[in-house]
Each structure stands twice: as structure tokens, then as C-alpha cells.
Amino acid sequence: MPSSTEWKFYYQQNAQSLLEIPWHLGAELTPEETIAVSQSVKEFQAGENSEGKHLYQDAQKYSEQTGDQDYVVAIKMFIAEEQRHARDLARFLTLNKIPLVKTTFTDVVFRKLRHLFGGLEISIAVLITAEIIAKVYYAALREATKSKILIGLCDQILRDEVKHVQFQSEQLSKLRSNRNYFGLVWTMGLQRFLFFGTVFVVWLFHRKVFLRGNFSFQRYWQACWREFNEAF
């Protein structure tokens, strides 16, 4: 399992090796594509656009308890990548004259869950749920339009999300390493319950994008649980 120092170096290197996005192409979405994906992309953009204050504070507490100073640096860089996703999606929406939104129902629910129970483990457990489903979402969004800009953005975000899920799942493994068998069974039961509910909510709000990306509900469901099982 990579150390926090290795993750810090990964994020540093990744920031220097981003894919080229053809922004010069400008507004590419057709009217039909705009109707199909605009609301969904706006909501995901709002979800990516978090300052990560509570996560950073939880990471600082963990660092003070364990002496793992590089974990705080790695978390800060992780948050910066999420904010880059938000900025790039906002730029794409603006190019296509699609207004941004500040927050959404699902984003509010996720934030409430993280803040209600508190602690690094809860923050990551909620966060990784969104990250896993995002891998399926951006794979569908990539196929939902012919926009080369959006395809490039999805490729970059998907490449980032693979490492984000690995980073968060490994940290959860560390946090749960001293739990006994029954404690782990209970913990994973709760993790699966949260994921189960979130899978339905995301489909309810974003099914237009999944269907345009050739993801039937069955394919979407199977893809989400495959990603979950690989992560854990």
C-alpha cells in the first residue's frame, strides 16, 4: 500500500501531466445535446466544487494523532484536483452558455452526512461513494455527446478518479485495520447500504445522461457494483 509520501508525489506529478483539452473548439454542443446533458453536468459540477474544509480539518486531526504529516499534504492536493474538475466543467458549461448552479439536492445530502457524524472515516466513506459512482457517470457522459472538449474532460476526470478511489479506499483500510471481524461486517454493511441508496438517487436525477451514453439501468447497476467491489 503506497505511503502518504508516495501519494503526495503522485499528485505532484499528475498536476504536471494533464491531458490537452481542445478549448479552442468553443461551443460544440448541439441544441439536442444541451437539453440532454446540461442539467446533469451542472449538478455534477456543483458537487465537484467543494472547498473541502471539513475533510482537510479531519485530515489534520488524523495527522496530529499519527504523525503522518504528508497525509495532510496529499489530501490538500486531492482537494485541488477535485476543484480543477469543477473549474474545467464550469468552463465547459460557460462556453456552451449554460448557467452554473451553486448547489444541488444530492450535494446537500452528502455534505450533511459528512458533517452530521464527523470524523475522517465518515468523511471518506461518504466521499468514496460519490467517487465510485462518478467513474460510471463520466464513462456514460463521455459517450453522451460528440463534444471533443467534453470527451477530453471525461478522459481526464476518469483518469484522476481511478487514483482518487484507490487513495480513499486505502485510507479507509488503514482506519479500519484494528476492527474485529464483526465490526468490519457491520461497517461494510453500512457502507453497502449507503452505496445502494446513492446508486438509486443518482440514476433518478441523471438517467438521461446514462441512457444517452448507452447505459441501461441494468448496465449502470452492474457497473456501479463492480466498481464498488473492486474498490473494497
CATH number of the domain to which 70 belongs: 1.10.620.20
State pLDDT tens for residues 124-170. 999 999 999 999 999 999 999 999 999 999 999 999 999 999 999 99
Instruction: Give residue 112's pLDDT.
Output: 67
User: Which tens digits make up the pLDDT trace of 21-31?
Assistant: 999 999 999 99
Say if residue 222's pLDDT is above 80.
yes
Q: State what percent of residues in the chain have pLDDT above 90.
A: 86
Angstrom distance (rounded) from CA 130 to CA 119? 17
State the pTM of this model: 0.93
Q: What does the pLDDT read at residue 116? A: 64
Are 136 and 223 in contact by the 8 Å Cβ rule? The answer is yes
**Cell of residue 61, nine digits:** 486531526
* Contact between 75 and 58 (Cβ < 8 Å): no
- Which CA distances in Å does 102 have to 44, 88, 90, 205? 11, 15, 11, 17
Residue 49: its pLDDT value, please?
Answer: 78
Task: State residue 154's pLDDT score.
Answer: 98
Query: Phi then psi for 221, rounded to 5 degrees?
Result: -60, -50
Mean pLDDT value of segment 84-104: 92
The stretch 55-75 carries a mean pLDDT of 94
- Give the model's pLDDT for residue 115: 64
> What value does the mean pLDDT of the chain take?
93
Q: How far apart are CA 141 and CA 133, in angstroms?
A: 12
SS3 call for 50 = coil
pLDDT at residue 206 is higher than 90: yes
| Cell, residue 2 | 503506497
pLDDT in tens, 170-190: 999 999 999 999 999 999 999
Q: How many CB atoms lie within 10 A of CB 87?
A: 13
Number of domains in the chain: 1
Domain containing residue 57: 4-231
113: confidence class by pLDDT, cuts 50, 70, 90:
low
